[in-house]
Amino acid sequence: MSSRNFNILVQTIEEYRRRLTTYSEDTFVQKTNPDVWSPAEVYAHIISANRLTVRSMQKAVEGTATEDNGSLPWRARLILLSGRFPKGRKVPEVVAKRTPQFLNIADAREATEALLAELNDIWKSHAQWSPTQKLKHPVLGLLNNKQWISFMKIHSKHHVKQLDRIKNF
């Protein structure tokens, strides 16, 4: 199942890359509503969050993450099993603070390409991933690398839908 999740994650990130060609510089940074993110903000959020996650996953590969035999909290189980986020969920403050701005399409394209390379690099070690080496998600608690791949897939697909809503707004 994890290779399937990885492949879907990569395909989703490739979809982000493809969609960059559908924006002008103006429409990329334009907010259609003060309460709605611009496409640039969506890209900055998802690409940055995923890149931070992949970098952290290396700690689990090296065996320096948190060692934990515990089961997933109910909230994490619900999201990973359903493949969806509950409605109304806001970005955790720690993630919002670390999200840079993409001022243009070239910045987003470069970061998207870097993410794809980083994903492929971390995947090379997937046979050695320990189910007990875990990293803390700010809301879901401790997740191992296999669970992080699943989470990134769900999270990335969620924001593709958000891009669709922005375009149709």
Q: What is the mean pLDDT of residues 21-47?
A: 93
Q: What is the CATH number of the domain that holds 142?
A: 1.20.120.450
* Mean pLDDT, residues 83-103 taken together: 78
Query: What does the pLDDT read at residue 100?
Result: 83
pLDDT value of position 9: 98
The answer as to whether 145 is a domain residue is yes
> What does R_g of the chain's alpha carbons equal in angstroms?
16
In a domain, 48, yes or no: yes
Query: How confident is the model over 36-87, as pLDDT tens digits?
Result: 889 999 999 999 999 999 999 999 999 999 999 999 999 999 999 999 987 7
pLDDT, residue 158, reads: 93
Rounded Cα distance, 81 and 92, in Å: 21
Model confidence band, residue 105 (pLDDT cutoffs 50, 70, 90):
very high
Banded model confidence at residue 169, pLDDT cuts 50, 70, 90: low
Per-residue pLDDT, 98: 73
Domain, as residue range, for 63: 2-24+37-168
> Of the candidates 112, 114, 97, 89, which has an alpha carbon nearest to the alpha carbon of residue 39?
112
Query: Is residue 122 in a domain?
Result: yes
Number of domains in the chain: 1
Whether 108 has a pLDDT exceeding 90, the answer reads yes
Residue 129 covered by a domain: yes
Give a yes or no: residue 32 inside a domain: no
Higher pLDDT: 169 or 28? It is: 28
Is residue 161 a part of any domain in this protein?
Answer: yes
The reply to whether 31 falls in a domain is no
- Average pLDDT of 4-8? 96
Q: Is residue 106 part of a domain?
A: yes
pLDDT in tens, 121-168: 999 999 999 999 999 998 899 999 999 999 999 999 999 999 998 887
Give the pLDDT band of residue 1 (cuts 50, 70, 90): low
Ramachandran bin of 70, using left for φ above 0, alpha for ψ from -120 to 50, beta for the remaining angles: beta
Torsional class of 36: left (φ above 0), alpha (ψ -120 to 50), beta (otherwise): beta
